[in-house]
Structures are given as C-alpha cells and as structure tokens.
Structure 1
C-alpha cells in the first residue's frame, strides 16, 4: 500500500533523514530550541491516557519551533485511532479542538505552523488541516512593553535596551512576550487547558552593568499557574535552585509547592541541549494538580543517573545531588559554625572589576583580572578592617564555565585561591573568603579550601558560575591552627566509603601553592 502524506510527514520512518527540529535544537541562541527527544521525555511523564481522550486540551504559551505541539499531535493521532477511525477527521479534530499555541515572535509563529500544519499558512492549499484564517490555533500578537520608570513593569527590560536608538525600525520584534505581558493570561484564549507545556525564553537584557540579564522564565510558570491546568510541565534553567536576581520568591514557591510530582535535573545543559552552554544546567518538572507528597527527583550528570523520592524544601536551597544529602546531614550533626560567617560581601573594597591602578609601586597593591597595579590607600572605599590583615582571595566565578565538568567528568569549583598580604586588596572580580592577623591561620584556611571536602560542600549551593557569601552555607568552619586535609575531614565527619568515593570521583585534586 502506498505511503500516505501523514506517514511521510509525521511518522519519520526514514532513519537517515535528520529531523529539522533536531538540527535547530543544536543551534546556539538566546531562545533555546528543544530537541524532539527531550520533548518526548517530558511527555512521558504525563498520564498516557491523556492522548486517548478527544477532550484533552494542550497549550504551549511560548512556541518557537512548534515541536511540543507536533510531538503531542503524533501521540494523539495514534491514541485516538479507535475513537476517530477516519484519519482526516481525526487530524481535523486534534488540530482544531485540542492543540493551541502562543508564539513568541512572528518568525516562530510561522515556523510553528509549518511544523504542526505542514504549512506556515493553515488556510492555504498545503496545510494538512484547513482553517479559515492564516493563524490557525497558533496565535501571535505584536505586544508593546509597558514602561514604568524606564523599565517594563512585566518583564523588567529597560526602555533604553528594548528601543535602542531613535533610528530603530518600528517593525522589529519587541520581545514583549504576550503570555507574560498581561495581568490576566486566562483571557488570551478564554478557555481551560488540561496540559500547559513549554520551553520559555530564559532571560532578557535588563540594562544593567555589563552583560546584565534578567531571568524571565519563571514569569511564564507563574502565569501558567493562574490557569490552574491539570498538568504543567516546562523546561527551564536550574539556577532557581539557589535563587538570586529576582528568583528568591520563585525558588521558595517551587520548593514549597507540594504539587510538583516530578523533577528531572541536568547538571550539564549539554546533556540536554547538545552544543549549548547554560550556567547551572537545566531541568524540567511536572506539576500535577491535586498531587500532595514527595517529588520523584532525577539527577543526571556525567552519564550517571540518580533518582530519589524527596521533599524539595528539605533545605533553604535545593540539593541537586541525591548522594550529597547524607554527607550534609553528617556535617550538620556536629553543630558547627558555617564558613559563610567569614566570607565578605561582594566588591570587598568598593573597587569595580574594571578599576585599575598605576603600574609603579604605591601604598596599596591592587589585584585585578589583569594582574597587579598600585593605588593610594585613600582610593579604597570600604573594607578597611581587613586591609592590614592576611587574607584569602578567591575568584567571584567558579572554575567551570556554565558548571560543565572537564573531559573526565571532574569539577574544580574554586578558581583562584590566593593569599593576600597586609596592604594588598582586590577589585570586584574577587571575594575575600577569610581574613586574620595570623599568617598560620590564613595558610591553614587555604589548605582547607583546597580540600575536595570543602569544594564538594560549596558545590551543593552553587547553581550558576557566580560565587557569593550565601553559597558557603553547607561548609563547616574549622580550627585554623590545625592543618586540614581530606583524610582528616572524612574521619571527623564519619563519611562512609561510598560517600568518600562520590566526593573523590566528582571533585578535582587542587594543586599546592597559590592558584
């Protein structure tokens, strides 16, 4: 029997023909495209009877390639075969009554319609189902930002960044995504949805210093919750685990939300999105209406998969490695102070990362990302209490770009760890982790910080490339009149062989000397 048009388009029987959406998913872009295999992993979390029900409705509120709706359509076409035997009638019912999308740009609306309807114009002759208009069920509206004191009240983008100069063409995309630029998203389509599923845009330039960007993915989730769907699933950056930059309230709401039944975590985003680096990795979750209980949590790193049933709010920040829980508990049993009490705030001496001194000798030596220069003592703006002490200086960013391990799957965590002498300071590129009048204490503190034990516990609160005082909350303080090494620490905290092996196989050995 001759192969039908549906077979050729939707069943992808030809193995050697690459899926165009798989190819797009490998492109680096601010708005990351989702590989079809990842979409199907997310769909596998849903009750599969949803795809056998002709009344189930699905919405993607941030359509880019249309891959979510396309993969749902494939399942519905199979699942409804007994209920709607006629293929064309089944196609018409699914595409008209069950699948809906809101595109993020005009281009993605065309791409999504092409993926779903096999034509960017579903009222044209090439669409596999006919609509009376060129939009079908994939909506796109060009929305303007709402400015309050120079920033959009919905997404936080600055007016200057969004509009640019006065010669900017008015027909260019505003990136004011319709789903999050309204107080009442339920009014956009005026209907209830059983499933809301998406990979939303992750961030927008907020007009801050340098390459400052404001996360916006959490706003898509918050809007989706307003519709109270039976199931909500999205794939997003995992940086929310530790909060920060507008995410603290979102983190708390996610960790305290007892309706999240599943959470799948990729430490290295490249394991999910090949070729794309996303600091802190990515995750996807399933929120199930009416569910109450612990979450089925799966962590994936370096080819290793670990699953546990846990409460997400066990700690203030989310612990992504299941194997780390028992280690943290053993440390807590000692009731010791936290190392974070020593770590200073960012910009320890009030000198920006771009600040530079003079090359010739001066009163104070200044460490910056470009090396040593010299400044007058009067140029130091703050941190006077540590200027005349010995200090431990660490880089403000981790050793790994985007939290990605090396080729052996190992992590260094700390980058620069250096002793500063009295009358030596640093720019905002660094943090002061410890300060003392005692050279012995500072040297011993550095040795402690180089241990795998220290860096492993630091890692548990790190969900981006940036370090700050709060990231040291799981690291215990020590007596720095003592020289510490991993063997002593493992013994002190009664770690088992499996716990020691987990640390040893994850954290790199840090070489001696300042580095």
Structure 2
C-alpha cells in the first residue's frame, strides 16, 4: 500500500482550491434532496436505473442518490456489501469539473479519494472509479474556444492550472464518454466563463450542460441553474426559446433571490431548478419561492403573447391588465446608448483637464473636464460625471442635443432599485454609451413634459414592469417592453397608475414590497 501512495500523483490541495471558479457554486445537501424528491419513488427500488452527474463538485448528488438506493434495494439485494458494490459499480456515474472536485466527489461517494484503496467502501481497479476527470484542452479559434466561448488569453494555461475546459461540453458526442444511456442526469453545472471582454465580461455556459444532457435522451433531467435564461440575453436567446416551448419541463422551482436556495450566495436574477421528463408532455408545476412563502401554479412556461417567462401569477395578472389598454411600449421612444455616437471610455491627459472620447466608428474627439469653455459648449453625461465637447463634433443626432430628453443608465440594479438613477438631459447636452436616451422622435419635449416623464420612470409601477422583463444589470431599450407609454402632459404617480390599471391589493402589495423608493 505504501508503494501505491508513493507512486501516485498527489496534487497540492491549496493550488487546486486557488483555481476554483467563483461560478462553481456548491450544492447544499438539502437542495440536492429537494431536487431528488421530484423524481419518481420507483427509481430508488430499481437496480437497473442509472444516474449521471456531468458536473461533479462535491459529489453530493451521487452520495444522496446512493443513500436512497441502499435503502430502496434492501429486498432485492439483501447483502449490504453486495448492494453497495452493485450501486456504485453499475448505477452511479459522474464527471468532475476539476481535479480537486474529482477528489472531493470520490471522497464523498466512496469514502476515499482513491476508490482502489483499502479505505474505499467499494473496490475499483483504478483510482477514478465511476467518477472521472480528464483534462481537456480548449479548441481555440480567433481567440475564443469553439465549444464554450472562453477567452484564450484567460484560459490558455500551464499544466499546473485548471483549464476549465469541461469534458461534458467539449465534445460533439457526449454519449461516447461512458458509452451508455442514463435514466437520470442531474447536477449543478458551472455558470459562466470569462470571454475576454471589457471588465468582468463573461459568457454563460450552464445552458450547454442542459443541451448536452438532452442529447442523451435520459428519462429524467434535472439541473439547478441561474434564472437569467427566463428573459434570454447574451448567448441565451435560443436556449430560452427552446426551454419555454418544451412542454416536457413538468416541474420548475424559481428563486428570484438566490440566497433563498444557496444561503449567503448572490446570483443576479436568482436561480431555478427543473425536472424534464422525456416521455411526458403537459403543463408545468411552477413553484415561485419568496423566503418561506411559496406560490404554486400549474401553467405553460410561456404565456400567450409573451416572449419571456413570467415568474408568478401576480405578475401575469398585472401584465394582462396593462396589455388590455393596447398602449404603445415605452421602449418605442428609447434609443440605444450610442444614440449620439460616443463610447463610454475617455482617455484623459495628464492635466486631467483635456482628453479624448472615442466614437463608434473609431474616431476620437477632444473633450474638456467639467468646465464649459469657448467652443466646448455641449455637456456630455458620462459614467461617473460629465465633460464638454464642441457641439459641432457630435457624430450622430446632434439636433437632439438642443432638446430636453431623459437619460437612464444602461447598467441597472436588479437586486435593488432595478434602474440606475435617471436624469434630465437639458438643452445643450448629450450622453455617452453609458446611458439609453428617451428622446421621442416627432415632437419636442418641453421641460414640464420631460419632468413628467422623469417622475414616471421613478415610479415603483414602472420599475416593477422592467423587473418582470429582465433580471440582469444590462438594461437596453428592450428591457422596457412591458412598460406602457403614457401621456406626459400630466404627472404620473404610483397611486394614479394603480387606479388607472385597476390593480388589486395583492398586486399593489407585490409592487410595494419588491421595489424601493427612488428619490
């Protein structure tokens, strides 16, 4: 036995820990068991049922499945050791996402990180057992991985570091990994990978784990994933479309606040887990969780006339009331951030008084810091402040710089006020890509009309409708599609809006509890 350990590669655990991705959220046992509770009881008494976790981290799913099978197969296989050997050799399989999680998973499932050692509760011939880990290279093209979209500059690494090239999604034939079919595929996949964009830009990858699992056509599929796919967005539109039109998703548990599922973890937009049944079609049993309260309804995932998943009945009834007025959408008067042609970034000179602002077509213009001087007569609202440019140099829509308009930060706050603080953009001002611009084409806004529009945007009613549509920080014009356009010759308050649309006490309470005041 000493020769066995001395000749075995023994990785440095601290190095492994340092290379865990912050999007590899570990699943609490109670959550894993709630997901397993969705599966039919008969599975735990079936000695031929097979289970796969394609994204093993702690091994919690396989461990909890093993507990249920050990109890459920007592009558069929009375001898405990024979039962354990059968379950671990013939029924449970896993693919670890990193070298460390392979060791953690084997330790959880086999009671030894080396299942061919004397400490394992069941003996295998190799060091992996049925929980495999294989270091996979990314396949680079134009600086990105063809499979997962990871950035080459971020993830082309030496052998001592994890590549985060997950085996399950770095193959076109996942069925070849174990060369067998599975009754159940269940897990909690990694959520995203850095794509080398600006700031903390990242590409979602959890949807690829779901799509790969469907290729194997298991009887049951269950995964816990971020809920951002409800509204689509970056890399998720086709996935959203396929999921919302898939009537084999029979159960969905939705947690708008991720910490209600993962204590102490913040995931913008919340999380969800679902049960997909290959051989059943019908309505979905949707459980919407809000702390200790749960609202349960049986309904289609995609409401008629909607393009996104609506999270609960209160939101659905409110939206139907708004839509019954057949008003235009507020998104119709919104313009994308580059309305004036300016990027966000400014490169300041050493004196901090002069700099250059980039434009969408690659040009640059001189700007001055927050001081109007000479021909620098037009204010530009930028991230974190303002600067001045020559009005004649505005690349696009320069006529609007002389009008009143409202600008709203493109970056929102899903867990709080929903929107960044909007502001009045007075005549003699424009804005960079930091803001979307409310500038109705066809009529000039007076200051009073602009102030009324600003008051409307700040209402809880307005921001609640935005929150239904999107759960990410990115707030492009389409995020406002559910918001109705009003007559801004009058000032709108929440109370007037509640009366206009005939909201019930329950609907009003939902808005008031979810959305804070915006001063």
Tell me, in whole angstroms, the C-alpha distance in 2 between the residues paired with 1:288 and 1:385: 57
Match of 1:73 among 54, 60, 66: 66
Q: Tell me the SS of whatever aligns to 1:483.
A: coil
CA contact (8 A) 1:434 1:442 kept: no
Match of 2:417 among 412, 431, 435: 412
Q: Tell me the SS of whatever aligns to 2:274.
A: strand
Work out whether 1:154 is the aligned partner of 2:171.
Answer: no
Q: Tell me the SS of whatever aligns to 1:307.
A: strand
Match of 1:394 among 408, 414, 421: 408
Match of 1:40 among 33, 44, 68: 33
Q: Tell me the SS of whatever aligns to 1:505.
A: helix
**Structure 2 partner of 1:407:** none
Tell me, in whole angstroms, the C-alpha distance in 2 between the residues paired with 1:70 and 1:350: 56
Gapped regions of structure 2 (runs ≥ 5): 1-16, 348-366
- Residues matched between the structures, number: 473
**Structure 2 partner of 1:172:** 161
Which deviations, in whole Å up to 9, do the C-alpha atoms of 1:360-411 show, x marking residues without a partner?
Answer: 3132112223222222235533343422221111122223xxx33xxxxxx4
CA contact (8 A) 2:231 2:308 kept: yes
CA contact (8 A) 1:28 1:275 kept: no
TM-score in terms of structure 2 length = 0.88
Q: Which range moved further: 291-300 or 246-255?
A: 291-300
Tell me, in whole angstroms, the C-alpha distance in 1 between the residues paired with 2:312 and 2:399: 38
**Structure 2 partner of 1:381:** 395
**Structure 2 partner of 1:353:** 344
CA contact (8 A) 2:337 2:432 kept: no
Work out whether 1:433 is the aligned partner of 2:434.
Answer: no
Tell me, in whole angstroms, the C-alpha distance in 1 between the residues paired with 2:397 and 2:167: 46
Q: Tell me the SS of whatever aligns to 1:453.
A: helix
CA contact (8 A) 1:66 1:115 kept: yes
Tell me, in whole angstroms, the C-alpha distance in 2 between the residues paired with 1:307 and 1:149: 47
Structure 1 segments of 4 or more deviating over 4 A?
none
Which deviations, in whole Å up to 9, do the C-alpha atoms of 1:419-458 show, x marking residues without a partner?
Answer: 0101212222222134543212111111111222111111
Distance change >3 Å, CA 354–CA 321, structure 1 → 2: farther
Distance change >3 Å, CA 28–CA 247, structure 1 → 2: closer
Tell me, in whole angstroms, the C-alpha distance in 2 between the residues paired with 1:433 and 1:288: 45
Work out whether 1:503 is the aligned partner of 2:495.
Answer: no
Q: Tell me the SS of whatever aligns to 2:368.
A: coil
Which deviations, in whole Å up to 9, do the C-alpha atoms of 1:291-323 show, x marking residues without a partner?
Answer: 211111111124432111111111201111321
CA contact (8 A) 1:240 1:463 kept: no
Tell me, in whole angstroms, the C-alpha distance in 2 between the residues paired with 1:349 and 1:213: 27
Match of 2:323 among 321, 328, 332: 332
What are the equivalent positions in structure 2 for 1:103-122 lying under 5 Å apart? 103-122=96-115
Match of 2:273 among 277, 284, 291: 284
Work out whether 1:85 is the aligned partner of 2:90.
Answer: no
Tell me, in whole angstroms, the C-alpha distance in 2 between the residues paired with 1:134 and 1:378: 71
User: Aligned-pair distance for 1:256?
Assistant: 0.3
What are the equivalent positions in structure 2 for 1:166-315 lying under 5 Å apart? 168-314=157-303, 315=306
CA contact (8 A) 1:452 1:509 kept: yes
**Structure 1 partner of 2:46:** 53
Gapped regions of structure 1 (runs ≥ 5): 1-23, 405-410
User: Aligned-pair distance for 1:468?
Assistant: 1.3
User: Aligned-pair distance for 1:150?
Assistant: 2.5
TM-score in terms of structure 1 length = 0.88
Which deviations, in whole Å up to 9, do the C-alpha atoms of 1:240-290 show, x marking residues without a partner?
Answer: 111111110000000000100011111111111122211111111110112
Q: Tell me the SS of whatever aligns to 2:44.
A: helix
Q: Tell me the SS of whatever aligns to 2:26.
A: coil
User: Aligned-pair distance for 1:509?
Assistant: 2.6
Tell me, in whole angstroms, the C-alpha distance in 1 between the residues paired with 2:230 and 2:495: 30
Q: Tell me the SS of whatever aligns to 1:355.
A: strand
Q: RMSD value over aligned CA atoms?
A: 1.7
**Structure 2 partner of 1:459:** 467
Distance change >3 Å, CA 297–CA 281, structure 1 → 2: same
Tell me, in whole angstroms, the C-alpha distance in 1 between the residues paired with 2:196 and 2:272: 27
CA contact (8 A) 2:412 2:474 kept: yes
User: Aligned-pair distance for 1:177?
Assistant: 0.7
CA contact (8 A) 2:226 2:271 kept: yes
Q: Tell me the SS of whatever aligns to 2:342.
A: coil
